[in-house]
Amino acid sequence: MFVPAMEVQVFNVIDLRSSCSSFINFISIGRVPCTVVQREGSSRLCVKSKKGNAEIVKGLQRESKAKLSHILRTEAAVKAIERKAKAKSAKFTHLCPKVVLEALEDSIRKNQWESALENFGLLRKQQWYQPRCQTYTKLLVMLGKCRQPGQARMLFEKMLVEGIKPTVDVYTSLVSAYGLNGFLDEAFCTVEEMKSFSDCKPDIYTYSILINCCVKHRRFDLIDLVLSEMSYLGIDRNTVMYNTLIDGYGKAEMFELMENSFSDMLETQGCHPDVFTLNSFLWAYGNAGMIEKMEKWYEEFQHMRLAPDIKTFNILIRSYGKAGMYDKMHAVVKFMEKRFFTPTIVTYNTIIDMLGKAGNIDKMEHFFRTMKYKGLKPNSITYCSLVTAYTRAGQRKKIWSIIRQIGNSDVVLDTPFFNSVFSAFGQAGDLKMMEQIFFEMKERKCKPDNITFAIFSQAYGAHGVVESTQDLELKIGHTKNS
């Protein structure tokens, strides 16, 4: 690597004095009593604190306790507001605005839609309440994420009852809530409704959301209709919209349409490919096992001077690993180190998963140790890959080591992890352990899915335990509905 020669800089004595003066002023602003002294036989200045170290430490501790106390008070206040919201009493109409709004923001941020609507109901009862479109927009976006399009429509109707005129953002949020949950007819009707208002016409963001919804649900037949409507209204396409189309066509393995969209992008004024375009192309061809095409397009984008990011390398690692080209996979990791790209948890999870599927347990464990050594905390995906790999390799004893590690950590486990453990013990015929882990799953408030039931059915069926299968069906049905 070429390292440029460093220039020798000559500092003026006056500059140094002014720097020292600024440094002393900085310390004074921090209210730390100090004196600047010069050591004997040295030209360097040092700062000597008049305050004892113990006093400074006590001051820092007081500050930390004050911050912690503020956090705990805020959390307690939010919980109190949530209790009052659930009570649905008419007497809570003079509550502190800050606390009520914090409770609402907290539930929206956590996507707790039921709690958010209760807190919003409490907010509307306050005498100081003034309806705002921004609040409705946030709630509609959250309801879309939580797969509650019906609740989104009811909230929108409440807004109209309050006499608030919907903005473009409110309508776009409603389009998103419908479209992302598969209600495309309602989404298109909402866009038509927007057109009836002179000051609320759909914009590029509205149509980008609409195209994203069509792509997500593989309704590519509707995309030309949306693009034609945009052209008729004089709305120019942007880079985000082209990236959405390229990504959608790529994931559907519609490569010709993907490349056509890229050509249109280059011809559109003001639209330039970016790293998202690059990653979409690499993922599409890499996932399809078309490695030569993937490498060709990587070179094409390099000629366009598009710099890769960490996600680019994660895609390359996954693609090479999936194709069984482990030498190239390791070459990407080495290249990352040379270019000072720090591997993320996603990078290591991908490597561990690929090596585990290849049965290279030693290498997999090496990267797992390296990951922990570098301070990256394993998550549920990491442990799921390890358990699956040990099961395939017939090394089920090592699964106990993983379970012990998880017991000593605060990792949040998910359903795929438990399914991998159920599969391991199911293949070993240890039905008792499967049932114990199932109850552990319930205690961690992790809901089983159809894969969970299929694993248990297969394990019980292999041992002729028909009654237990029926009991489990009731248990899982109760857990899923609760």
What DSSP letter does each residue of 155-187 carry, written as one string? HHHHHHHTTPPP-HHHHHHHHHHHHTTT-HHHH
Query: What average pLDDT does this structure show over 3-24?
Result: 38
Amino acid at 214: C
CA distance 480 to 185: 30
pLDDT of residue 10: 36
Is pLDDT above 60 for 37?
no
DSSP symbols for 344-366: -HHHHHHHHHHHHHTT-HHHHHH
Task: Identify the CA nearest to 134 among candidates 115, 153, 113, 108.
Answer: 108
Q: Supply the pLDDT for residue 53.
A: 54
Q: Above 80 in pLDDT, residue 170? A: yes
* C-alpha closest to that of 387 among 417, 428, 348: 417
Query: How confident is residue 63, by pLDDT bands cut at 50, 70 and 90?
Result: low
Distance CA 273, CA 303 (A): 12
Confidence band of 162 (pLDDT split at 50, 70, 90) = confident
DSSP state of 412: P
Residue 422 has a pLDDT of: 94
Specify the pLDDT at position 71: 44
Say which residue, 130 or 19, is predicted with more confidence: 130
If you average pLDDT over residues 221-225, what whole number do you get? 94
* Residue reference for tokens 């990504």: 247
- Indicate the range of 2-16, 135-149, 230-244, 369-383 predicted with least confidence: 2-16
What is the phi/psi pair of residue 226, to 5°? -65, -45
CB 411 within 8 A of CB 443: no
More confident residue, 421 or 467: 421
Cα dihedral across residues 416, 419, 423, 425: positive or negative: positive
Token pair recorded at residue 328:
């190239």
Whether 227 has a pLDDT exceeding 70, the answer reads yes
Task: Specify the pLDDT at position 471.
Answer: 67
Q: Which of 84, 161, 154 is nearest to 125 (CA)?
A: 84
* Cα–Cα distance for residue pair 461/455, rounded to 1 Å: 10
Residue 268 is classified by DSSP as S
Sign of torsion, CA 308 313 319 320? positive
User: Alpha-carbon distance 113 to 111, whole Å?
Assistant: 6
Closest alpha carbon to 236 in 205, 191, 280: 205
Overall average pLDDT of the 284-306 stretch = 95
Per-position DSSP letters for 23-38, written without gaps between them = HHHHHHHTT--EEEEE
pLDDT tens per residue across span 210-222: 999 999 999 999 9
**pLDDT at residue 26, rounded to an integer:** 36
Rounded Cα gap, residues 358 and 142, in angstroms: 40
Per-residue pLDDT, 444: 86
What band does 409 get if pLDDT is binned at 50, 70 and 90?
Answer: confident
- What Rg value do the Cα atoms of the chain yield, rounded? 30
Q: How far is CA 235 from CA 204, 241, 244, in A?
A: 6, 12, 17
As a whole number, mean pLDDT of residues 170-184 equals: 95
- The mean predicted confidence, pLDDT, of the chain is 82
Distance (Å, rounded) from C-alpha 185 to C-alpha 175?
10
Range with lowest mean pLDDT among 29-33, 52-56, 240-244, 274-278: 29-33
What pLDDT, on the 0 to 100 scale, is given for residue 203? 93
Please name every residue paired with 47 in a beta bridge, in sequence order, or none if there are none.
Answer: 36
* Ramachandran angles phi, psi of 235, nearest 5°: -95, 120
pLDDT at residue 174, as a whole number: 96
Q: Enter the DSSP assignment of 38.
A: E
pLDDT (mean) for 381-396: 94
Report the amino acid identity of residue 115: S
- pLDDT score for 228: 94
Distance CA 317, CA 350 (A): 7
pTM passes above 0.85: no
Instruction: Name beta bridge partners: 35.
Output: 48
Lowest average pLDDT, out of 41-55, 304-318, 348-362, 454-468, goes to: 41-55
What is residue 445's predicted lDDT score, i.e. its pLDDT?
A: 84
296 vs 90, more confident? 296
Whole-angstrom distance, CA of residue 318 vs CA of residue 313: 9
- State the Cα–Cα distance between residues 28 and 482, nearest whole angstrom: 60
pLDDT above 70 covers a percentage of the chain that reads 77
Query: What's the pLDDT score for residue 468?
Result: 58
User: At what angle are helices 310-322 and 275-287 packed, to 10 degrees?
Assistant: 10
Q: What is the pLDDT of residue 465?
A: 75
pLDDT value at 304 more than 90: yes
Half-sphere exposure of 130 (CA within 13 A, CB side): 1
| Predicted local confidence at residue 11, as pLDDT | 36
Question: Given this model, what pLDDT does residue 184 score?
Answer: 95
